[in-house]
Amino acid sequence: MELFISGCILLLCSGTAAVLLGRSRAASWVATLGVWAGCGLALVPVIQTLAGRCPDPLRIAWSMPGGSLTLGLDGLSAFFCLPILLISPLAALYGCEYLAHEKKSLGSALFFCNVLIASMLLLMAARNGLLFLVVWEIMAVSSFFLVVFDDEHASVRDAGWTYLIATHIGTGGLLVFFALLGRQAGSLDFEAMGTAKLAPAMASILFVLAVVGFGSKAGFIPMHVWLPEAHPAAPSHVSALMSGVMIKTGIYGLLRALTLLGAPHATWGWALVVIGLASGLFGIILALAQNDIKRLLAYCSVENIGVITLGIGAGVLGRAWGQNGFVVLGFGGAILHVLNHAVFKSLSFFGAGAIAHATGTRDMNQLGGLFKSMRWTGLAFLVACAAICGLPPFNGFVSEFLIYLAGFGGVQAGATETVVLAILLTGGLALIGGLAAACFTKAFGVLFLGEPRSDLANGAHEAGAAMRWPMAALAVACLGIGLFAPLAVRLVAPAVQIVAGSDAGSLGKALSVPIPFLSAIAWASFSLLAMAAGLFFIRRRLPRGREEAMTGTWDCGYARPTARMQYTATSFAQPLTHLFRFILGERKLGSVLQGLFPRGARFETHTPDAAREWFFAPAFRAIDRGVAPIRRMQHGRVHGYLLYIAIVLILLLIWKAGGQS
């Protein structure tokens, strides 16, 4: 544990040093070095824990009432530490170059980035409700400051506010959750909470609070509204860190809460399955309709959180029914997908960042043909897209395959309810996967293929080494987890064991079920790769000694082709967005063409977020009207404020004195 803590302290110290260095170029390197060293130190106990040697928990006295500085690692938190320790150093390195041309001081961005990483690590180790909440808040606030880095734009400030409000709604739920659970258990330590006897009704209330609290961080529908605002607004390496890693703390919290609440009800599982399906479907359908690449990726995060939740729901149902197959494959798939999503989503945000950095825009309708000028980025982004769609031989396939297996197992079990669950799992995942494939064909095709749609895309250039290498490393990780899938499944075993709450023997048996399948798939993947390499080699050899000619892309026999003849991002997705128009509520603005030789015409579409437009916006307007009278207290006169203080102090004194009769 000491190594873990010293890693966190190193992160904080290097962050502070970066603030002091401020504008000098050394600041980003000091902070990045601190991230690498700190994460390296923290990695040692994490690997030890995953290997089965849990470090002794550390207890330090804390003067906070109900709080104790209890820090410990177990299989679950160690596994969730892995994405943090893997992505953070790469994101920090990427950020060095990404922000290098920034005119303002980077001190605060570097500092809050390090604080965010340290707080996520501490959150995984926190074993006390109060400590957990404090670290949770530090995490939320530091990421808020990162989101509003470009605070000179009004849209970024708006996104920051949306995020701050959303995260605090979640924290409100958690506050009540820990207060209620702590009251039942008589202590805020997780150890005591885990053994508390809860009435069924109380346990269900706590479960709902946990879903609201952790779900708003993770991005469950309809609490996802902050994701598509905050991720595009933040610098790209921060988006990668937030989307890839930080929202997973919500999933971690939900799993941890499930271990504290005792034996689960079947209804909880169904609720999670429904939330997962809804998030997955709505997330990917909304992603399809987006034209801002980072917004698209943010909605895709909602979709992946949906897939993870689907797995957790299956696991919870398995626990409620006593079916080990669902438990192990559901939880196992969900937990492995956390790592996988962290890897490929960070990779795709890095890629999007490289594009935005090179061209200055995130609007896909202005880009195109980037594969010619940005080959590295293009390849990395292609790997990320394939992984997101869940295609072998990449990592996204492995975790989704585990959840599919859980579904197939359910069909064999034969009871009505398991078959219903199986249909929901397999059918839902297949639909989500198909839509994801459409979505990322659009993203990759519009961005990298065809011809540049504007001068912005014409001027694109490849990213520098500090941005390229993190992308390459993550692409290799995507492939590696996919190829060595049987090993990856063994990696999640300690985490599954804690969530499943069952003994090791039956667990081991259930975990060995997918191994033969995955080994076969791994061999197939290897041969696929070998075949691809062989074909590539032949393709290189083939034109030797023959004449080569260059021609335009999208020529198609036209005499004068222009870049505007291509599919745009909007038109490519149009058939699908038209199919789901009842969900999207797309608004079309523009004029209809008239006459044989129409003059000018314009056409634009906007896709509002339904939850934001029809639920949160009216709700907050109503609250705003309700509290308007209270705002008069905030008049800006010093004397008034002093008067408030005086009145409160004197009333307190009178109350206190009056009580002592």
Partner 1 sequence: MDILSVLLILSCLFLLGSSRLHVAIRVVAAQGFLLGILPVVRSMPDITAGIWILSVSTIVSKGLVLPWLMRVCLRNSEIRREIEPFVGFGASLLCGTGLLALAVWVTIRMRLTQSEAPAVLMISSFFLVFVGLFIMVTRRKAITQSLAYLVLENGVYGVGVGMSLDFPFVVELGILLDVFVGVFLMGNLLFHLDLEFEHMDVDKLTELSDLSESAATAGEENA
Contacts with partner 1 by CB under 8 A lie at: 154, 631, 634-639, 642-643, 645-646, 649-650, 653-654, 656-658, 660-661
In this complex, which beta carbon is closest to partner 1, that of residue 416 or of residue 661? 661
605: three-class secondary structure by DSSP:
strand
Helices 416-448/324-359 angle, 10° precision:
10
In angstroms, what is the minimal distance from the CB of 643 to partner 1? 5
In angstroms, what is the minimal distance from the CB of 398 to partner 1? 48
In angstroms, what is the minimal distance from the CB of 154 to partner 1? 6
In angstroms, what is the minimal distance from the CB of 451 to partner 1? 36
14/19 Cα distance (integer angstroms): 9
In this complex, which beta carbon is closest to partner 1, that of residue 526 or of residue 641? 641
Q: Are 286 and 607 in contact (CB under 8 A)?
A: yes
In angstroms, what is the minimal distance from the CB of 111 to partner 1? 25
In this complex, which beta carbon is closest to partner 1, that of residue 51 or of residue 622? 622
Task: List, in order, residues 6 or more apart from 640 with CB less than 8 Å away.
Answer: 633
60 φ, ψ (degrees, to nearest 5): -125, 140
Other beta carbons within 10 angstroms of residue 334's beta carbon come to 31
Q: Are 18 and 27 in contact (CB under 8 A)?
A: yes
In angstroms, what is the minimal distance from the CB of 144 to partner 1? 18
In angstroms, what is the minimal distance from the CB of 613 to partner 1? 20
In this complex, which beta carbon is closest to partner 1, that of residue 546 or of residue 635? 635
39/3 Cα distance (integer angstroms): 10
- Taking alpha carbons only, the member of 54, 58, 56, 55 closest to residue 69 is 58
132: three-class secondary structure by DSSP:
helix
* Cα distances (angstroms) measured from residue 7 to each of 10, 17, 41, 121, 530: 5, 15, 5, 9, 41
In angstroms, what is the minimal distance from the CB of 161 to partner 1? 11
In angstroms, what is the minimal distance from the CB of 634 to partner 1? 5
In this complex, which beta carbon is closest to partner 1, that of residue 158 or of residue 417? 158
Other beta carbons within 10 angstroms of residue 187's beta carbon come to 17
Task: List, in order, residues 6 or more apart from 171 with CB less than 8 Å away.
Answer: 133, 136, 137, 140, 213
Q: Are 507 and 470 in contact (CB under 8 A)?
A: no
In angstroms, what is the minimal distance from the CB of 523 to partner 1? 60
Helices 395-413/416-448 angle, 10° precision:
160
* Cα distances (angstroms) measured from residue 539 to each of 254, 372, 448, 542: 50, 18, 21, 5
- The pair of structure tokens assigned to 293 is 């690449």
In this complex, which beta carbon is closest to partner 1, that of residue 150 or of residue 586? 150
* Cα distances (angstroms) measured from residue 455 to each of 369, 459, 552: 11, 6, 17
Q: Are 333 and 403 in contact (CB under 8 A)?
A: yes
Q: Are 4 and 71 in contact (CB under 8 A)?
A: yes
656/658 Cα distance (integer angstroms): 5
- Taking alpha carbons only, the member of 380, 355, 392, 142 closest to residue 249 is 142
